[in-house]
Structure 1
Amino acid sequence: MKVLKFGGSSVGKPERIRGIVSILKNYYASGDHFTVVFSAFGGVTDSLIEMSSLAAAGDDRYGEAFQAFAKRHQDAISELLPEGSLRTETATQIRKSHEVLKNLLYGVFLVREASARTMDYVLSFGERSSSYIITQTLKSVGIPAEFLDARKVIRTDKKFGGATVNFDKTYAAVRKYYSEHTDIQIVTGFIASAKGGLTTTLGRGGSDYTASLLGAGLDAQAIEIWTDVSGVLTADPRRVKKAFTIPKMTYAEAMEMSHFGAKVIYPPTLMPALHKRIPLYIKNTFEPDFPGTKVSEESSDGNTAVRGISSINSVALLTVSGSGLFGVPGTSARLFNSLAQSGINIILITQGSSEHAISFAVKPDDADGARRAAEEVFAYEIDRGVVNPVKVERELSIVAIIGENMREQPGISGRLFQALGKNGINAVAIAQGSSELNVSVVIPKEDENKALNALHEAFFLSDSKTLHLFIVGVGLIGSTLLEQVKKQNAYLRERLGMELKIVGMSNSRKMLVDVDGIDIENWQEALNNSGTDADLAVFVGRMRDANLSNSIFVDNTADDKIANYYEGILDESISISTPNKVSTSSSYAQYLRLKALATKRGVQFRYETNVGAGLPVISTLRDLMDSGDRIRKIEGVLSGSLSYIFNNFDGTKPFDAIVMDAKQKGFTEPDPRVDLSGKDVGRKILILARETGIPMESEDVSLVGFLPEGAMEAASVADFFSILKEKRTYFQELYAAAATEGKVLRMIATLEGDQASVGVQAIGPQNPFFGLSGSDNMIVFTTDRYGERPLVVRGPGAGAEVTAAGVFAEIIKIGKFLS
């Protein structure tokens, strides 16, 4: 004998019921002996509660709700049963039943009251209607089905709304009934009866319990719970998109999962099955061939320590603390007895070995009652000051990792806390039993989704990781970065186990945030059509509120306003990658504050592209210093635009023509004075100085100007070029003076000791910068180890491709750090 149960979502519509009929026809054709339990049609129980509440409130709209309820069932009969006597018989019987419900609701309306006892009777009409209609439908296709009202066999006490089952009487009644009936029994879930024939219910989710009770009473071969998901998943799929089915788990693991919020298993269901050692299968009505999850006494795969991750969405944590608890026998008994007498259920308990404090979690609605009960029992100690007033923390959640094999594998707790820590999630309290069947952590409620995803990656997808990117600036550099990500994502998934998901983007006009991911193939269309007006504060706020694991903020701009948000972003445990030099070249105190904050929050603040675009300049400098080398001197051509200008200033073309050419090719800023002033290069040498540990400010960098008088003060860019043209002789003389000595002109930044300067220098063939070409940057490190022959880093120092590639490389490094 097999006992099958189909839930409300499985019987929500006539077409779904037809799918169930097909499943049962296959069972019948294979010769399986089975019985089937059905819930009410999807949404009907809520509808019955609604109409009862309206009636009890004296609101005659309950009649409209009833009419919709009755019509839904009559429509189902018309769709499921062919015309003829069977349809007529079914419609008549359901109409009579619903007439009783109508009169009952009218009585509620008159007395303005719906007691728990009345509500149990009202709710029974859901399962009784669905099960009877499905029984008749099965008969119409040739399956010998018989309707069984579970009130005939399941016996309970009179605790209406959630009755306690009398197992001995129930099992005896089940065995007796089934011994006298040979047809396939179609049974109402959820409902039962107490002494005197009073209708009771088994609590929400009670249809699963009905199936388990029948299975235990019949010593069934298996119990199958058919629902709308493919078994028990590693986590809630609504919150963890990459959750997958657990093929096999033990009763104990399933109980823990259900206790911590896994909705697919109703907790009492497991006890009868466990007692009789009956395997329980969780299967998907809409994927009947999928094996689902088997719950039994068999041990799960020993190679998998954690079987699932679950959570309780909302709890309050109460803490009783004080020196008066230390070493006092019976303290815990006093506390928990007082809570029990107040009818308060405790979800989690944790106590330090010093016994100085006891913390326990309860439902939020029970928090005030629990506090009063605890303070009453310790009133004497609180008055003496040896026990503190009870501390109540609200807006918390519990996440738990569950698995019987955790005890066999060391380091499980370490991985849990590492995953939480790297995502900035604070553990408010921790509980772990000696059996290590679960490790539970109380965390801020706002971090629940992030924690579930971070832990799921840590324990089930340790060879893969999703990085959530929020990108500001999708112009030349940003769009190039997106193109590089699009081309490389498949490689990253296959070789590095890393997936980059763009969940936010913004330019100066539009912004778009989508936690499910923005289609990188059509991001421009999505931004233009679905984006809202750009507002940086709102964008950062949405990024913070999304609270996604492994979040990275990418700033591809040079906007000082965006840099003002860095501190808040890092404080939210979000890593940053940026070519924007504003934050690292502002005040030294702010520079240190950002780096310290990143370290404190366990995230990354990366700005390699601040100096040398995609060249490994800062990382090389850090490697030298970390390995114990001492920096004597740093020299560099640190501007791709200035490199292009001076590399091409060979006397054949006027200086102004070369600058105009560089501007037209996009090498310079729209106003070339930003480059030619040396300020940008000054910011870069300032950053390198700070990386060596020198507490330098921007005014400490000496900028030696070379432009003719009046050029920097020109009213417009056009006027600036006019002055350059007028001063061609001045520039030609600069070139000639250098060329006469066999030298060339280069804009060079120098850091020696604690002195930094930027200026145009005439250098000879022996100088490493002499042979520069194109827009190359070159940085020369003279150190204790690289004294006679300095270490040189050279390559393209400007351009969207190399800058975007540098940012891309940093994103990957951040991803590896978060692994």
Structure 2
Amino acid sequence: MKVLKFGGSSVAQPDRIRGIVEILKDYYAAGDHFTVVFSAFGGVTDNLIEMSELAARGDDRYGQLFQEFADRHQLAIGELLTNEKLQQETAHQMRRSHEVLKNLLYGIFLVREASPRTMDYVLSFGERSSSYIISQVLQQAGVPAEFLDARRIIKTDKTFGNAKVAFEKTYAKIKEHYREHPKVQVVTGFIASAKGGLTTTLGRGGSDYTASLLAAGLKAQAIEIWTDVSGVLTADPRRVEKAFTIPKMTYAEAMEMSHFGAKVIYPPTLMPALQNRIPLYIKNTFQPDFPGTKVSEESDPDGEAVRGISSINNVALCTVSGTGMFGVPGIAGRIFGSLAAANINVILITQGSSEHAISFAVQPSDAERAREAVEAAFAFEIARGVVNAVKVERDLSVVAIIGENMRYQPGIAGRLFRALGKNGINAVAIAQGSSELNVSVVISREDETKALNALHETFFLSDYKTLHLFIVGVGLIGGTLLKQIDQQNDYLRERRGMELKVVGLANSKKMIFAPSGIDLSRWKESLVQSSIPIDLAVFVGRMRDLNLSNSIFVDNTADSKIASFYETILDESISISTPNKIATSSGYLQYQRLKNIADKRGVQFRYETNVGAGLPVISTLRDLIDSGDRITKIEGVLSGSLSYIFNTLDGILPFSDIVREAREKGFTEPDPRIDLSGKDVARKILILARETGVPLNAEDVHVNGFLPEEAMAAASVEDFFNVIEDQAAYFNELYESASREGKVLRMIATLDSDQATVGVQAVGPDNPFYTLSGSDNMIVFTTDRYRVRPLVVRGPGAGAEVTAAGVFAEIIQIGSSLS
């Protein structure tokens, strides 16, 4: 014998019921002996509650809801039953039954009260209606079915709303009924009866419990819970997109998962199954061939240490503390005795070895009563000051990792806390039983989804992670970066186990957000169609509120306003990658503060592209320092735009034309004076100086400018070009002066000890900068180890492709550091 149960979502529509009938026909044709339990049609129980509450308030709109309820069932009869006799018989029976309900609701309306006893009777009409109709449909389909009102066989006490089962009496009734009724019994879930025939209910989710009780009474071969998901998943799929089905679980693991919020299994269901060693299968009505999850006593010692991750969405944490608790026997007994007396359920308990404090989690609605109960129990100690008033913290969640095999694998808790820490999630309280079946962590409620995703990646997708990118700036660099990500994502997913999702995007006018990822093949259209105007504070706020795991902010601009938000972003445990030099070349104290916040929050602040675009300049410098080398001197051509301009300068093509060309190629800033003035190079040598540990500020870098003052003072960019056209002879003389000595011009930045300078120099063939071409940068490191032959880093130092590639590489490095 098998006991099958189908939930409300499985019987929500006539077409779904037809699908169930096909499943049951296959079971019958295969010769299986089975009985089947049904919930009310999807949404009906909530409708019955609503119409009862309206009636109790004297609101006659309950009548409209009742009529919708009655019509829904009559329509189902019309759609499902084509046999005229069965259709008429079923419709007549439903009208009689629903007339009783109508009168009952009218009685509630008159007395303005719906007691728990009355509500149980009202709610019974949902399961009684659905099960009777489906029993008739099965008969029509050739399955010899018979309707069974569970009130005849399941007996309980009179705790209305959540009745306690009289097991021996119930099992005896079940055996007796099934011995006398060989047809397929179609049983009402959820409902039972107490002494005197009073209708009771088994609590929400009680249809599963009905199936388990039937299985225990019949010593069934298996219980099958058919629902709308493919078994028990590793996490809530509404919050963790990559959750997947757990093939096998033990009863203990399933019990823990159900306690911590997994809605697939109703907790009391497991006890009759466990006591009688009946395996329980969770299957998907809409994918009947999928094996689903098997729950049994069989454990798999070679299986995953963590079977699932679950959570309780909203709890309050109460803490009792004080010096008067240390070494005093009976403290815990008094605390939990007072809670039991107040009928308050405790979700989680944690106590430090110092015995100075005990914390326990309860439902938020019970928090105030819990505080009052405990403070009343310790009134004497509180008055003496040896026990503190109970501290209550709200807006918290409990996240738990669950698995019987955790006890066999060291380091599980370490991986849990490392994953939370990497994502800036603080553990308010921790609880782990000696059985090591679960490790529970109390966290801020707003971090719950992020924690679930971070832990799921750690324990189930350790070779796979999703990075959530928030990108500001979609010009040459930003647009190229988006193109590179789009082209490379498949490779990263397959070869590196890493997926990059751009979830936030902004240009100078608009911004868009898509937590599931923006389609990078049409990001331009999405921005154009967006109705959200750009507001950096709103963008950062939205990024914070989404609170996604592995979040990275990418700033592809040179905007000081955006850089001003870096501190806030890092403080929210979001990593940053940027070619924007504003923050790293601002005041030294602010630079140091950003680095410290990143370290404190355990996130990355990356700015490799601040110097040398895609060249490994800063990373090479850090490697030298970290390995114990001492930097004695840094020299560099650090501007790709100036390198291009001076490499192209030949005494024939006017200087102004070369600058225009560099600007058109995207090598210079929109205002080339930022490059030509040497200020941009000064920022870069300043950053390198700081990386070596020299605490310089911008005013400490001496810049020897070569532009005429009139050019620097020009009112506009176009006026600037007019000036340098007029000054053609000046620039020609600069070139000729160097050329006569067999030298070339280079804008060179130098850090010598703690002195930083920038200026145009004429260098000859014996100088490493002499051979530069195109927009190449070159950085020369002279160190204790590289004293005779300095270490040289050389390559393209400007251009959207190489800069975007540098940012892209940093994003991947940040992702790798999150493992």
Tell me the distance in 1 between the aligned counterparts of 2:676 and 2:76.
80
Q: Which amino acid is 2:817 matched to?
A: F
Question: 2:246 corresponds to which residue?
Answer: 246
Q: Deviations 1:32-82 (Å, cap 9, x if unpaired)?
A: 000000000000000000110011100111100000000000000000000
Task: Write the distance in 1 (CA, Å) between the matches of 2:69 and 2:425.
Answer: 46
Q: Does 1:681 align with 2:684?
A: no
Please report how far the alpha carbon of residue 741 of structure 1 lies from its aligned counterpart in structure 2 after TM superposition.
Answer: 1.2
Question: Which sits farther off after the overlay, 647-656 or 781-790?
Answer: 647-656
- Amino acid corresponding to residue 448 of structure 1 in structure 2: E
2: CA distance, partners of 1:399 / 1:313: 8
Instruction: Report the Cα offset of residue 490 of structure 1.
Output: 1.3
Query: 2:591 — aligned with what?
Result: 591
Give the C-alpha shift of residue 456 in structure 1: 0.3
What is the CA distance between 1:521 and its match in structure 2?
Answer: 1.8
Which consecutive unaligned segments of at least 5 residues does structure 1 have?
Answer: none
1:612-627 counterparts in 2 under 5 A?
A: 612-627=612-627
Q: What pairs up with 1:462-611 in 2 under 5 angstroms?
A: 462-530=462-530, 532-611=532-611
Q: CA deviation at 1:301?
A: 5.0
For 2:133 and 2:709, locate their aligned partners in 1 and report how far apart those are by CA, in whole Å.
Answer: 96
Cα distance in 2 between the residues matched to 1:612 and 1:537: 30
* Aligned residue number for residue 730 of structure 1: 730
Superposed CA deviations along residues 254-310 of structure 1, whole A, max 9, x for unmatched, are 000000000000000000000000000000000000000000000035231000000
- Alpha-carbon offset, residue 529 of structure 1: 2.1
Alignment of 1:298-309 (within 5 A): 298-309=298-309
SS at match of 1:225: strand
Q: How far apart in 2 are the matches of 1:288 and 1:414?
A: 39
Paired with 1:303 and 1:50, the residues of 2 have a C-alpha distance of: 46
Q: Partner of 1:780 in structure 2?
A: 780
TM-superposed CA distance for 1:525, in Å, is: 1.9
When structure 1 is superposed on structure 2, of 701-710 and 163-172 the one drifting more is 701-710
Match for residue 425 of structure 2? Answer: 425
1:260 correspondence with 2:260? yes
Work out the CA distance in 1 between the residues paired with 2:663 and 2:441: 57
Partner of 1:209: 209
| 1:511-536 CA distance string (max 9 Å, x none) | 11111111122222222224521111
Contact 2:510–2:530 under 8 Å retained in 1: no
Structure 1 Cα separation of the partners of residues 250 and 83 of structure 2: 48
Name the CA distance, whole Å, in 2 between partners of 1:161 and 1:656. 86
Q: How does 1:153-552 map to 2 (within 5 A)?
A: 153-530=153-530, 532-552=532-552
Structure 2 counterpart of 1:795:
795
Moved more, 729-738 or 747-756: 729-738
CA distance, structure 2, for counterparts of residue 61 and residue 723 of structure 1: 82
Bigger Cα displacement from structure 2, 587-596 vs 535-544: 535-544
Q: Map Cα deviations across residues 695-734 of structure 1 (whole Å, 9 max, x no partner).
A: 1000111110111231111122222222212222222221
Q: Deviations over 1:742-763 (max 9, x none)?
A: 1111111111011111110011
Deviation digits for residues 338-392 of structure 1 (CA, Å, limit 9, x no counterpart): 0100010000000111111100000000000111111111111111111111111
800-809 or 732-741: bigger deviation: 732-741
2:22 corresponds to 1:46: no
CA distance in 2, matches of 1:135, 1:63: 28
- Residue 661 of structure 2 corresponds to 661
**Cα distance between partner residues in 2 of 1:284 and 1:304:** 23
Aligned amino acid, residue 368 of structure 1: E
- The answer (yes or no) to whether the contact 2:83–2:140 under 8 Å persists in 1 is no
1:647 matched residue in structure 2:
647
Between the aligned partners of 1:211 and 1:716, the Cα distance in structure 2 is 81
- Shift in Å at residue 674 of structure 1? 1.2
**SS at 1:271 equivalent:** helix
Shift of 1:83: 4.7
Q: Which amino acid aligns with 1:115?
A: S
Using the TM superposition, give the Cα deviation of residue 402 of structure 1 relative to its aligned residue in structure 2, in angstroms.
Answer: 0.3
In the TM superposition, 1:624-773 aligns within 5 A as 624-773=624-773
Query: Structure 2: which amino acid aligns with 1:369?
Result: R
Alpha-carbon distance between aligned partners in 1 of 2:119 and 2:657, rounded to the nearest angstrom: 89
Q: 8 Å contact 2:192–2:201 — kept in the other structure?
A: yes
Quote the residue 1:135 is aligned against: 135
Shift of residue 606, structure 1, vs aligned partner: 0.1
Asked if 1:58 corresponds to 2:58, the answer is yes
**Distance in 2, Cα, partners of 1:230 & 1:530:** 37
**What is the percentage of aligned positions where both structures have the same residue?**
78
- TM normalised by structure 1 equals 0.99
How far does the alpha carbon of each residue in 1:406-464 deviate from its partner, in whole angstroms, 9 at most, with x for none?
00000000000000000000000000000100000000000000000000000000010
SS of residue matched to 1:517? coil
CA distance in 1, matches of 2:421, 2:531: 33
Partners of 1:7 and 1:396 in 2: CA distance: 31
Query: What is residue 67 of structure 1 aligned with on the other side?
Result: 67
Counterpart Cα distance in 2 of 1:478 and 1:157: 68
Could you tell me how far 1:660 is from its partner in structure 2? 2.0
Count of aligned pairs: 819
User: Which secondary structure state, in structure 1, belongs to the residue aligned with residue 299 of structure 2?
Assistant: coil
- C-alpha distance after superposition, 1:317-357 (max 9, x if no partner): 01111110001011111111001000100000001111111
Amino acid at match of 2:672: P
2:344 counterpart SS class? coil
Q: Map Cα deviations across residues 518-558 of structure 1 (whole Å, 9 max, x no partner).
A: 11222222222245211111111111000000000000000
Three-state SS of the structure 1 residue aligned to 2:434 is coil
CA distance in 2, matches of 1:712, 1:750: 23
Q: Which amino acid aligns with 1:18?
A: R
For 1:428 and 1:384, locate their aligned partners in 2 and report how far apart those are by CA, in whole Å.
28
Further displaced range: 528-537 or 710-719: 528-537
Instruction: Tell me, in whole angstroms, the C-alpha distance in 2 between the residues paired with 1:425 and 1:666.
Output: 41
Q: What SS is found at the alignment partner of 2:710?
A: coil
Q: Is the 8 A contact 2:55 2:109 kept in 1?
A: yes
**Whole-angstrom distance in 2 between the partners of 1:609 and 1:666:** 16
Is 2:191–2:206's contact at 8 Å kept on the other side of the alignment? yes
Q: Distance in 2 between matches of 1:421 and 1:667?
A: 40
Number of the residue aligned with 2:811: 811
Structure 1 SS opposite 2:290: coil
Note the C-alpha offset of 1:663. Answer: 1.9
Q: Which amino acid aligns with 2:378?
A: F
SS of residue paired to 1:236: coil
Is the CA contact 2:258–2:266 (under 8 Å) kept in the aligned structure 1? Answer: yes
Q: Which amino acid in 2 is paired with 1:21?
A: V
Q: Deviations over 1:93-138 (max 9, x none)?
A: 0000000000000111111111000000000000000000000000
Q: TM-score, normalised by structure 2?
A: 0.99
Q: How does 1:6-17 map to 2 (within 5 A)?
A: 6-17=6-17
